[in-house]
Amino acid sequence: MTNRYDYLIVGSGLFGATFAWHAKRAGKRCVVIDKRPQLGGNLFCEKISGINVHKYGPHIFHTDNGDVWQLVNSIVPFNRFTNSPLANYQGRLYNLPFNMNTFHQMWGVLTPAEAKARIDQQRADVVARMRREGISEPRNLEEQAMLLIGRDIYERLIKGYTEKQWGRPCSELPAFIIKRLPVRFVFDNNYFNDRYQGIPVGGYNRLIDGLLEGVETRTGCDFFDLCRQSGVDPTAMTRYGVTLQGMHFDRVVYTGPIDEFFGYSSGHLAYRTVCFESETLDQANFQGNAVVNYTEREVPYTRIIEHKHFEMFGAEVDACPQTVISREFSAEWTPGHEPYYPVNDDHNSRLLAVYQERAAQLDNVIFGGRLAEYKYYDMAPIMEKVLAMPV
Alpha carbon 376 to chain centroid, angstroms: 6
Catalytic residue chosen out of the listed positions 303, 311, 370, 373: 303
Catalytic residue status for 272? yes
Catalytic residue status for 80? no
Catalytic residue chosen out of the listed positions 156, 184, 251, 370: 184
Closest CA relative to residue 372, chosen from 259, 267, 257: 257
Cα angle 316-205-31, degrees, rounded to a multiple of 5: 170
Catalytic residue status for 206? no
- Contact criterion met (CB below 8 Å) for 372 and 258: yes
How far from 234 is each of 58, 212, 225, 240, CA to CA, in Å? 33, 25, 11, 13
Containing 183, the helix (H) or strand (E) segment is none
Q: In angstroms, rounded to a whole number, what is the distance separating the alpha carbons of residues 75 and 77?
A: 7
Catalytic residue chosen out of the listed positions 142, 163, 328, 373: 328
Query: 85 preceded by cis ω (within 30°)?
Result: no
Catalytic residue chosen out of the listed positions 272, 327, 341, 384: 272
Concatenated DSSP letters for 288-347?
Answer: SSSEEEE--TTSSSSEEEEGGGGT--THHHHHS--EEEEEEEEEE--TTSPP-EE--SHH
Catalytic residue chosen out of the listed positions 180, 240, 298, 357: 180
Instruction: Extract the runs of DSSP E, i.e. beta strands, from 156-295.
Output: 196-198, 216-219, 242-244, 247-254, 271-281, 291-294
Instruction: Extract the runs of DSSP E, i.e. beta strands, from the chain.
Output: 3-10, 30-34, 45-48, 51-54, 61-63, 86-89, 92-95, 196-198, 216-219, 242-244, 247-254, 271-281, 291-294, 303-306, 323-332, 341-342, 365-367
Catalytic residue chosen out of the listed positions 114, 188, 216, 378: 378
For the chain, how are helix, strand and coil distributed in percent, rounded to 5? Answer: 35, 25, 40
Catalytic residue status for 120? no
Catalytic residue status for 376? yes
Q: Which residues are catalytic?
A: 180, 184, 272, 303, 328, 376, 378
